[in-house]
Amino acid sequence: MVFNSTAFLVFFIIFFQIYWWTNKYTSINIRNVLLILASYLFYGWWDWRFLSLIFISSLTDYIVGIGLQKTTSISRRKILLGISLLVNLGFLGFFKYYNFFIASLNEFLSYFSININTQTLNIILPVGISFYTFQTLSYTIDLYRNKIQPEKNILAFFAFVSFFPQLVAGPIERASNLLGQFKQKKVFDYSEIIAGLRLMLWGMFKKVVIADNFGVMVDQLLLPGTETSGISVMFGAFAFAFQIYADFSGYSDMAIGIARTMGFDLMRNFKTPYFSGSFREFWQRWHISLSTWFRDYLYIPLGGNRVSLRRSQINVLITFLVSGLWHGANFTFLLWGGFHGLLLVLERKVKIRLPRVLSVMLVFIAVVLLWLPFRAESMQHLSEMAVSLFQFSNYHSGRLIEVINEFSIIRFILLIVVFAAFIYTEWLIQQKDFNEWIGQFNKPWRILSYYLIIFIILILGNFSVKPDFIYFQF
């Protein structure tokens, strides 16, 4: 079930009414039972078999948490932490990386004429496994570090792990922020409901108008195995940059908005990252919940910047290589993460002062080009795009014009106008969210804006494509 589907609309309308009735007339525990059941229905709508993974992960970390509280023995605490890591990373490693490592091992050994006949498996990747795995891991690691207290209420803990607004694509929440909210009685607040609906509307606009329309162009411009031109690859990379941003930040806005209508506060995940003046700033504004997770649970434990300059640079590279691998079991993601790590290292070493406008442009161009390995389906596909991109004699626009012509002229012009208005709005918003920004205006202007956005969604929204979000595959 996805946010921009009819099934979810029906689900949420029914759930919303039952939720607030339950919250008003019953206990917090019953409300949390409702949240767990609704979240399991939401996730099981895709494939009910994988509910067992969420259940086992939740139960394991709940028991580990209680165990960590009861012992002060360092060896026992390490064993308990190891159990949590083994279960959670074991699931993640098998479903996401088994085939990747087996295929890589077979290819490596073939260079030495060694054949071990290890077969890959037909494994379905569970939606959202990378997100809820990291969320539960942060809980047990923080317990091990004595930063938080264990949760004894099993219903609150299970609701925390499976909370459906952010279950399959984040934001990746910390127990210190979200878990306690499941033990609070929620009070119906009209202003918070409106704030949540605003974010849901803005996220829906970004998804179906920007991301899904640009996605159609990207799929054709960057199609593997086809002859293309440098200009098509450049335009495809630019379109993908805004497809993935609008797609993922749109999901985050909707997730935060849905949670807000229920009285829950989730962390910001994006802060208009394409207006960043450095790569460090970009990663402080892009997928913030993941960036801070890797900072706190990988980069800092490796030594962070408290060690020698050379060692800290290695720490940066390791962190971004692992981040790349987190995104997908493919060497293209390792390249994407590795290049971002290298740029951060170079940026720290070579400090050049440039006007803000120029630095924003340079960072944006580099980020757009680095989306190519992220988008590539294989190293062969990446190599095809790279060859086309650097063949300057091949900058004909035939393929691009063909793709544009598949839109009606009026629709394409309207899409470009709306896209320009979207970029301008993003610039006005800067590091605020849409709710904070639009809340500054008088009521008549706000209402006019809502109707205008709904009208644009109905006129330009691409409802003909499969409505999955890009980050579901991670």
Positions marked active-site: 327
- CA end-to-end distance (rounded Å), the chain: 16
Cβ within 8 Å of residue 219, ≥6 positions away? none
- Contact indicator for 162, 43 with CB cutoff of 8 Å: yes
Residue type, position 350, single letter? V
Backbone angles phi, psi at 121, to 5 degrees: -115, 155
Cβ within 8 Å of residue 369, ≥6 positions away? 237
Instruction: Evaluate the omega torsion of the peptide bond into residue 171 and state whether it is cis, within 30 degrees of 0.
Output: yes
Tokens 């995104």, residue located: 327
Measured over the CA atoms of residue 381, residue 386, residue 389 and residue 390, the dihedral's sign is negative
Tokens of 138: 């942060």
* Distance, CA of 455 to CA of 447 (rounded, Å): 12
Residue 285: burial class (beta carbons within 10 Å; 0-12, 13-18, 19+):
buried
* Distance, CA of 75 to CA of 81 (rounded, Å): 10
Measured over the CA atoms of residue 343, residue 344, residue 347 and residue 353, the dihedral's sign is positive
CA atoms within 13 A on the CB side of 90: 10
Quickly list DSSP for 170-229.
-----HHHHGGGGGSPP---HHHHHHHHHHHHHHHHIIIIIIHHHHHHHHHHT-TTS---
| φ/ψ bin of 346: left (φ > 0), alpha (ψ from -120 to 50), beta (otherwise) | alpha
- Contact indicator for 266, 256 with CB cutoff of 8 Å: yes
- Contact indicator for 123, 98 with CB cutoff of 8 Å: yes
